[in-house]
Amino acid sequence: MSREIALRDALREGMSEEMRRDETVFLMGEEVAEYNGAYKVSKGMLDEFGPRRVIDTPISELGFAGIGVGAAMNGLRPIVEFMTWNFAVLAFDQIVNNAAKTLSQSASQFQCPIVFRGPSGAAGQLAQQHSQTFESWMANVPGLKVISCIDPYDAKGLLKSAIRDDDPVCIMESELLYGHKGIVPEEEYLVPIGVAAVRRRGSDVTIVSFNKQVLTCLNAADELEKEGISAEVIDLRTIRPLDLDTIVESVKKTNRLIVVDESWPFAGVSAEVTFQVQKHAFDYLDAPIARVNSADTSLPYAAPFVEAYLPNPEKIIKAAKEISYINS
């Protein structure tokens, strides 16, 4: 049986189900307990699981990330919530130099089954230090798995898979879309890490994206359909490992590709997808691959500049039209 619930509720269900199933799972982070979470993702969890398993931390990302890594190396399965991935920059030493390298540095004697999660990306007028997109930062590190999605069904299923995974997993959410609703079954289910989802079938151009920009792509696809351009929209869901097969199969059908990525264009997810498709499906491309990114600058504060900075349907439609008339 299914019902419609918000992203924050799906994430809470995923964590709570795993904590009921496995007593080694616990949640820690700023305001996750007494305040019910900065975005109310952990609402009610302190009442059910108590302060030993839902733990409020000091404002010290490096410190509590390190506690989580140590706990994971000693048989527990921590979920570490960052109020925003922008604050997690302070904990990169623990994530990048310890969690990601535990297995290789210990010659497989120690694993590090830990989940780092929280919101990433722009969230309105929060200015430069609170609006960065971190998928490509984390995906650059061998040893880390990276999940980025906003569909409530996927978020719950992927979070549960991440908690059970023996490797460190970084989960990127969206502060703007914690209230975004979707259909989620009441019964137990998992979503496998490393498998993309085709959100819309099409025949003329493939549009690849992740997180909240998938909704932007779907809006653009609706408008393109009115002009006779059929767009297939792929939601990566997992950045690393990347489901290249799904992308390549779509490009073989449509012969055109647009990659939409909220992060900066230089050395980002869009650049990696572009390279991989050119390597594995070059002969099927009838036009250059187009990329729609945020502007190559720090995010301004003023609302009109925020709108101009981010990807939007108009930019995607423009890119689709430009490549649709090449060799057509």
Q: How crowded is residue 307: how many other Cβ atoms within 10 Å of its Cβ?
A: 9
Distance CA 156, CA 12 (A): 8
Helix axes 244-254, 269-281, angle to 10 degrees: 60
Active site residue 180: no
| Cβ-count burial 241-266 (b if 16+ within 10 Å, e if not) | ebbbebbbebbeebbbbbbbbbbbee
Q: Is 198 helix (H, G, I), strand (E, B) or coil?
A: strand
Active site residue 61: yes
Q: Please name the residues in contact with 133: beta carbons below 8 A apart, sequence gap of 6 or more.
A: 120, 121, 122, 172, 261, 262, 263, 264, 294
Catalytic site residue from 18, 81, 130, 262: 130
Catalytic site residue from 13, 18, 30, 61: 61
Q: Is 106 helix (H, G, I), strand (E, B) or coil?
A: coil
- Cross-strand bridge partners of residue 55: 28
Active site residues: 61, 130
